[in-house]
Amino acid sequence: MRAALLASPATPLVMTDIECADPGPGQVRVRVTHCGLCHSDLTLIDAPEGLAPIILGHEAAGIVDAVGTGVSTLAPGDHVMLSPFGPCGVCYWCVRGETVHCAAAMSMFTGTLPDGSVPFSLEGRPVYRGLGVAGFGELTVVAASAAVKIDPDIPLEVAAVIGCATQTGVGAVLNTAKVEEGATVLVMGLGGVGMSVVQGARLAGACRIFASDPVADRRNAAIAFGATDLLDPSTTDVVAHVLEVTGGVGVDYAFDAAGAGPLVEAGLAATRTGGTTVMVGAPALEHTVTINPAVLYLTQGKKLLGCLYGDCNSQREVPRLLALWQTGRLDLEPMITARRPIDEINAGLDDLRASVGIRTVFNLGV
């Protein structure tokens, strides 16, 4: 099968013929039709000491091609959304309902399947399986629990975008922060993830949604997703503005959806006493966050929450997000601002580096 391969760290991706194994027990092989581009892919592509050779792409959907032994929930021809997290169902975290922390799913960070193997090879050498999906290739192998069956009427590009951006952003609001009606919210960073946080805040019934991004096109696009106040952090002191507009109180919830240590600190400064900051973005490993302990207790009692994949169990989350989309309460098509054949992956990466559009979805053909 053809895949956009990162042959060595920090180099352009190259379309390459790769061998893809049959699915093992409990696994399915999927013909990927669409895969969105998330900033986490870019971070791994640009990492000087990242895993390679690797097939990245973790926001994907497609059609089941073959099922391994013991798989009874899926059959060839089923349309599926692929989750980076295929929960085992029996580990310490799964039994507590925290499937994003499933011990087996952590193999997404080692570029392998949970048993340490990889389904891909190039001239006999193993190729890593990026972020649990490897959606930049025409075929992939995932645990059956990571493939969420969807109605064949649902456009697969829409299902793809739910794969990471929507689950992460909407989940950060509904599952991680549990924003309530009438709340005030600040969203910093308006890419696919941040726009989904804005949409999640709208779904939750937030009364005021401050949206901050240095890119004017993204700020303006945020209005249609529910933002009420637009802020340009390159010309406005976002924290001071939010405090002033809220009468010195601060917002109930702040979200870093850009991935920067200083934005986590800004969130803590912009939230009210007792308010909540959620770190949705993925700051570089060398970033640090400085917190005066008094901010978390004494008279302030603020809360800082981490957030992996919006705390979503995809088998539960995808049907409800699709239902919200079908009833017009979640806008998914406008998130897709570019559609490209997978051969144009490097041009799509350049667009993301320049914050052009919101989400690019690559078409891998059927």
Ligand X SMILES: NC(=O)c1ccc[n+]([C@@H]2O[C@H](COP(=O)([O-])OP(=O)(O)OC[C@H]3O[C@@H](n4cnc5c(N)ncnc54)[C@H](O)[C@@H]3O)[C@@H](O)[C@H]2O)c1
Report the alpha-carbon distance of residue 237 to residue 233 in Å, rounded: 6
Report phi then psi at 132, rounded to 5.
80, -5
* Binding partner of 321, given Zn ion, ligand X, none, CB within 5-8 angstroms per partner class: none
Which amino acid is residue 310, in one-letter code? G
Smallest distance from ligand X to CB 213, Å: 4
Q: Which stretch binds Zn ion (CB under 5 A): 35-43, 268-276, 288-296, 319-327?
A: 35-43
Q: Which stretch binds Zn ion (CB under 5 A): 34-42, 197-205, 213-221, 343-351?
A: 34-42
CB-based contacts of 124: which residues, under 8 Å, 6+ apart?
none
* Binding partner of 50, given ligand X, Zn ion, none, CB within 5-8 angstroms per partner class: none
Q: Which stretch binds Zn ion (CB under 5 A): 12-20, 100-108, 298-306, 331-339?
A: 100-108
> Cβ closer to Zn ion: 102 or 179?
102
Which of 136, 309, 325, 362 is close enough to bind ligand X by CB under 6 A?
309
In sequence order, which ranges of the chain are alpha helices (DSSP H)? 39-46, 156-161, 167-171, 192-204, 216-225, 238-245, 261-270, 314-326, 345-353
Give the burial class of 281: count Cβ atoms within 10 A of its Cβ; 0-12 exposed, 13-18 middle, 19 or more buried: buried
Report the alpha-carbon distance of residue 319 to residue 81 in Å, rounded: 10
Per-residue contact string for residues 189-228; x = within reach of ligand X by CB under 6 A = xxxxxx-----------------xxxx--x----------
Angle at CA of residue 119, ends 115 and 122, nearest 5°: 135
Smallest distance from ligand X to CB 341, Å: 21
Position 168 contacts ligand X (CB under 6 A): yes
Position 47 contacts ligand X (CB under 6 A): no
Within 7-46, the residues that bind ligand X by CB under 6 A are: 38-40, 43
Q: Which two tokens stand for residue 20?
A: 């893809």
Residues that bind Zn ion (CB under 5 A): 38, 40, 87-88, 91, 94, 102, 164
